[in-house]
Structures are given as C-alpha cells and as structure tokens.
Amino acid sequence: FVRVGDKAPNFSALSTTGVINFYEYLGDSWCVLFSHPKDFTPICTTELGRAAQLHKEFDKRNVKLLALSVDEIKDHDKWICDIEKFSNVKVMYPIVEDKLRSISMKYGMLDQSTFHITNKSQNISITIRSVYIVNPEKTVALILTYPVPVGRNFDEILRVVDALQTHYEHGVGTPADWVKGKPTFILP
C-alpha cells in the first residue's frame, strides 16, 4: 500500500470513458482519486453526485477527479444515470472498474474487516472510502480514509486541495480550519 510522500502507483484500467492510464490521465494536473465500496449504494451515490456538482471548482484548481469502484463498467454506466438524476448534474469524470481489486490492493483501499467475506465461490473484500490527492509529480500528497458507513465531505477535500496547492506553490503551512485567502505560516 502507499503512504503520503510515495510515488502514486500507475495503472491502466477500463473506465466509463474508455481505457485509462493513470499517469497519462493526470498529465500535469493534480488528481483526487476516490474509491467506493459498491455501485448503486446510497452513500456512494451522494458522494459521486457531490463531486460532480463541484467539478467546476476542481477544474479551477487544475484537479482531475477519478472515481474507482469494484463493479463492472456496465454497472458504472447504469449507476451514472442514477447519480445524475439524484444530483441534478452531469458526471463529467471517469469511474474506473477494479473488479479484480488490483488497484485497490496497490493503494491499500481494502477493508481488512471484510477481507474474507465469501460471495458465492470467491473470497472478496470491499473497498473503503479512500481519497488520494496526487500532485503533478505523481506523488501522494494526502490520504483520507473513511469507514464504509460514513460519507465524505467534498467541501473539505476542496479546502485540503487549496492548502496543499498553497504549500506546493509557496512553501508555507496552513493553520487549523484554514481557507484560501487567510494567513499562512512560514515553516521552520
């Protein structure tokens, strides 16, 4: 699994917009890579909808969104219709298929408490709600992990992107509850 400061593992995978090579998708952008336990679940639907609602805000910051779920593309495509209906906005970012959980394993996105759940004849594990913010050098700048029943706060993810970009551009630190435009700290 990866830690903050590690090179983000590259991968190629099917997505709702075709095959994606992670590094090529990033180009010189920042990225918010976020995983989901399962398509069509209510919490996941609200999260992907909220990310879609904030897509322009992420674009302003040169941040690409990339969702990941263990379900298949055909399910992702159907799910997008539900997400768009629920959130009243078009989903403009790809959702990656990780049915073999190879990306989830590389990044450490698997819920260890469910690692041996049996589904029919195969052992499966569900992905937890992970968020990886990757900078333009393809380095993991931040990792947030939420348990399955807790939805993410995308306004906080935007705030953290602002803080990381401010540090990246100016070498300063940000205090608790910092928002863009507020004072920063010169780091020792």
Nearest alpha-carbon partner for 67 in 25, 119, 115: 25
Q: Tell me how far apart the alpha carbons of residues 117 and 45 are, in angstroms, rounded to a whole number.
A: 23
Active site residue 81: no
Residue type, 52: A
Nearest alpha-carbon partner for 168 in 122, 136, 143: 136
Cβ neighbours for 54, distance < 8 A, ≥ 6 positions apart: 154, 155, 158
Pick the catalytic residue from 44, 51, 103, 110. Answer: 44
Nearest alpha-carbon partner for 30 in 125, 171, 148, 167: 167
What residues form DSSP beta bridges with 16?
A: 18
Q: Which residue has the tokens 């990757």?
A: 134
Q: Which residues are known to be catalytic?
A: 44
